[in-house]
Amino acid sequence: MTAYLFRRILYVIPILLGVNLITFALFFFVNSPDDMARLALGGKRVTEESIERWKRDKGYDKPHFYNDAAAGTDRFTDTIFFTRSASMFALDFGVADDGRDIAQEIRTRMWPSLAIAVPTFVVGLAFYITFALILAFFRATYVDVSGVIVCVAAMSISSLFYIIGGQYLISKLWHLAPISGFGEGVSALKFLALPVAIGIVSSAGANARWYRTIFIEEINKDYVRTARAKGLSELRVLFRHVLHNAMIPILTGVVVIIPSLFLGSLIMESFFSIPGLGSYTIEAINNQDYGIVRAMVFLGSILYIVGLILTDVAYTLVDPRVRLD
Amino acid sequence: MPFKPVVLWTDALLFLLLASAIAFWWHARARPHLRRPWTKLAGSSRGMASLVFIGFFLVVGLLDSVHFRERIAGEGSSQQFAAQTRSLLDAIVGPLGSRTEKTYSAPLATHLFAKETVELADGARVRTYPRLRYGGAHLSDPASEWQADVLRTAIAGLGVAAILWNVLALAVTALVARRSQRSFTRSWHAIWHGLEAVPWRAILCSAGVLILLLAPLAVLSTKYHVLGTDKVGQDVFYLTLKSIRTGLLIATLSTLVMLPLATALGIMAGYFRGWVDDIIQYVYTTLNSIPGVLLIAAAVLMLQVYMGTHPEVFDTIEQRQDLRLLFLCLILGVTSWTGLCRLLRGETLKLREQEYVQAARAFGVSHVSIISRHILPNVMHIILIAVVMDFSGLVLAEAVLSYVGVGVDPTMTSFGNMINAARLEMAREPMVWWSLASAFVFMLMMVLSANLFADAVRDAFDPRVNGNGREHA
């Protein structure tokens, strides 16, 4: 197991390097720093001097990969790639356009993101699985058929409508929760209720239907017939046997997203003005702050890969047939 | 010529896609083993009913993809063409697109939504709701005539719908009667009791719903702004119709980008294994590990910089919108091929060990022929299912991306931009709800029919699903 994990972590390095190169190419080759400077400074009548100054301030005035002018190892380290991209491996994300340290900002902003994402994830998962189990229990009856129809209709509605509709109904019409914002400590609870509820409802259709498919597939297997033949009640079969064995396909889809919960949800946070990482990213996109976007891309990839490794570990926990070595 | 055709990049690609779909259909028509799943699909009432709706969206989208510039003056070589590019859809809906009011007006309204200071004939100034320039302009006294006129027009619309539907039903019955050599009444009986192989009843019902919805809208829109007007006074019904093309293009062109990548790389990884597999797996794990929205955001940001610094590349607004849309499809395709690629790799790994592939290899058949004759036809169903399943997701993605600010050009009509604008309208007092509601209804219709159709396609093509649509044990 330890040896396996070690190998997996070694395998992560080329992938992160690839991500790093892709983002680097996207941000520095598609458009030269000169182009970015011209756009950032605005207009066409920008002097060469101001462009040079902008590039020097940002540290973009160096060569891409190889610095002829420098000596020794500086030939590789005194380049845009090393100072801007490779430094991200050390979680040094540099400074945003407004002068704040990106890493520090991420550390403070990840808590509001987690405050929304974790309850949405946990309560949502419990809700979807319960709903799907109910549908599987009533399979091939009108309950099941109408449940599936509701799911398909629900997943055909854009998440934006759920948010706009929820804000209008619950906050504006019924005054049950504040329309947006965020507070400290216990006062945060009343701000969290609505985004969490909407987050759960907006992806209920697709998730419940997916879990139902997994359960139905599992229900048709031989061991379930054996369990029924032994005279076990349908409920016991569902919860003890089916749910247990369905954990394997469920885990595949679920564990991988757990680390990414840190990043929060882009639209949710911007609609409810929650000062998390999602809204941070949106602001960065709107302000064209490339440093932040690059940092978030890199962070997102790390979290995704951590998720992949966690998935493998989780398999060994629920499925004794799986051994990692 | 009274007009000059304009072919945008996206138009050309859309028609190319349509042509290849027709070519594929023609190819499959004569081959029973290829035809079987299609026959099954044609027998699914859910699939056919949703296909009617998809057909409507497709026709609107295609009509809106035939662009031209009208001649405004001159003959022969000295012709002058309008600067504005119009589409066939604009020509069909006629004045709907050009009848713009000053600002917001409610659906079917005769007056503007906001009060304005109006100068009367005797010079006095009053604050009142001014009459609309076009909506209900034929009424001399809206207060007394409006209700009756709207009712009359709506009933006329329902009448048109009834006539259209009856004509359609008669045509279908006549067709069935000719094919089955039965009398007209017996054919109608067979259709109505679901005895035909093709579920004509479901098709007619679904077409009935569609006609019943659209005909009154269309008839009312000749006299009123049937779904209201937006901030700059444009007819919301017109904007909704224009949004269909954007959604359709995003969904189909992204697929066009994604398909060759996923198919070629997935089959190669599974078939050749070894280092080819390693490299391809590395590429898709790397791409997959970048959060999709962020990769799209980063790419679109870079495009914006490019567009900002190279304004000379784009002659017209349409071209700028078009290139941005095309680029968005490209990047959506690049971020979404990995799932299908992994599926195809797994399936090819299984197929390459089959006896017929082994035999072909023993006979010395080249890799290219094995892949194209033995592997590709056997993974076709996976590709097709993945394509239809992705369709609805891409339409929904457009709305979210446009909201985040990395979607289609902000000046382009799309569902995402309509919803985006509606956010500010919702905060107004009293609320402007009609753009949001129209975008909601039309988008729901589009995505729901795509989802239902995708389910029917999966049922028809997935070999794990047997005849009656239930999955095997």
Instruction: Convert B326-345 to b/e letters by CB count within 10 Å (16 or more is b).
Output: bbbbbbbbbbbbbbbbbbbb
Q: Which residues of B touch A285 (CB under 8 A)?
A: 297, 301, 404-406
Half-sphere exposure of B296 (CA within 13 A, CB side): 28
Chain centroid to CA B456: how far? Answer: 18
- CA atoms of A14 and A281, how far apart (whole Å): 26
In the predicted structure, residue B19 carries a pLDDT above the cut 50 = yes
> Does a structural domain hold residue B377?
yes
**H or E element at residue B204:** helix B200-220
Q: Which residues of A touch B294 (CB under 8 A)?
A: 281, 293, 296-297, 300
Q: How far is B69 from chain A (nearest CA, A)?
A: 32
B46: closest chain A residue by CA: A149
A22, A160, A300 ranked by CB distance to B291: nearest: A300
- CA atoms of A243 and A236, how far apart (whole Å): 10
User: Which residues lie across from B131 on neighbouring strands?
Assistant: B111
> What residue ranges do the domains of chain A occupy?
2-90, 102-318
> Does a structural domain hold residue B68?
no
> Does a structural domain hold residue B432?
yes
- CA atoms of A295 and A28, how far apart (whole Å): 14
Please, which residues have CB within 8 angstroms of residue B74's CB and are 6 or more apart in sequence?
A: B80
> Does a structural domain hold residue B92?
no
Q: Quote the pLDDT of residue B469.
A: 40
The model's pLDDT over B137-157, given as tens digits with 9 standing for 90+, comes to 888 888 888 888 889 999 999
Residue B220: C-alpha distances to residues B57, B108, B135, B161 (Å):
20, 8, 10, 13
Q: How far is A272 from chain B (nearest CA, A)?
A: 12
Give the position of tokens 């929820």.
A166
* Number of domains observed in the structure of chain B: 1
Long-range contacts of the stretch A66-69 (C-beta < 8 A, 24+): none
> Does a structural domain hold residue B433?
yes
- The amino acid present at B441, given as its one-letter code, is V
> Does a structural domain hold residue B368?
yes
- The amino acid present at B156, given as its one-letter code, is A
**Chain A 200-229, residues with CB within 8 Å of chain B CB atoms:** 216-217, 220-221
User: Sign of torsion, CA A280 A282 A283 A287?
Assistant: positive
pTM beyond 0.80: the answer is: yes
Q: Quote the pLDDT of residue A43.
A: 61
Q: Which residues of A touch B287 (CB under 8 A)?
A: 22
Q: Quote the pLDDT of residue B470.
A: 42
Domain span at residue B426 reads 242-439
B286, B304, B399 ranked by CB distance to A158: nearest: B399
B295, B301, B450 ranked by CB distance to A288: nearest: B301
**H or E element at residue A8:** helix A2-28
Q: How far is B306 from chain A (nearest CA, A)?
A: 7
Q: Quote the pLDDT of residue A42.
A: 67
Q: Which of B246, B286, B429, B468 is best to mutate for the A interface (most A CBs within 10 A)?
A: B286
- Mean pLDDT along residues B202-207: 93
The model's pLDDT over A212-241, given as tens digits with 9 standing for 90+, comes to 999 998 988 899 999 999 999 888 898 888
Mark yes or no for CB contact A36/B305 under 8 Å: yes
Query: What percentage of residues in chain B have a pLDDT greater than 70?
Result: 97
Q: The domain A102-318 belongs to what CATH superfamily?
A: MetI-like (1.10.3720.10)
> Does a structural domain hold residue B470?
no
- Mean pLDDT along residues B419-438: 84
Residue A104: C-alpha distances to residues A92, A100, A109 (Å):
10, 8, 9
In this structure, what token pair is assigned to residue B327?
Answer: 């680029």
In the predicted structure, residue B467 carries a pLDDT above the cut 50 = no
In the predicted structure, residue B465 carries a pLDDT above the cut 70 = no
Closest CA relative to residue A260, chosen from A304, A294, A195: A304
> Does a structural domain hold residue B232?
no
Half-sphere exposure of B133 (CA within 13 A, CB side): 13
- CA atoms of A56 and A38, how far apart (whole Å): 14
Instruction: Indicate which CATH number applies to the domain containing B302.
Output: 1.10.3720.10
- Mean pLDDT along residues B204-213: 93
